Amino acid sequence: MDTKERIYQFFVDKKKAEGLTYDTELLKSRYINSLFALQIVMFVEKEFGVKLGRREISTENFHSINAIAALVESHLGGNG
């Protein structure tokens, strides 16, 4: 399972994937709120073994599954 699929599966597990695609704008489409965003950050750090810096936790890096995956892959050296 690649990075995007693992992140998407997190949304499925949380019952938040109906109509969701890798490009869906998560905030504008109301898939996430501030509390769920924190859960996503904790999931990413635990699932992929990365530590995100405060500046990385931004709407730009978390606006879609593709953006989250790109952030993760930047930490992993691009090995999606």
Tell me the domain boundaries of the chain.
Answer: 3-10+26-76
Residue 19 CB partners (closer than 8 Å, separation 6+): none
- Does residue 74 surpass a pLDDT of 60? yes
pLDDT per residue over 18-41, tens digit each? Answer: 999 999 999 999 888 888 989 999
What pLDDT does residue 23 have? Answer: 97
2 within 8 A of 64, measured Cβ to Cβ: no
Q: What is the mean pLDDT of the chain?
A: 93
Q: Per-residue pLDDT averaged across 2-26, rounded?
A: 96
Split at pLDDT 50, 70, 90, the class of 79 is low
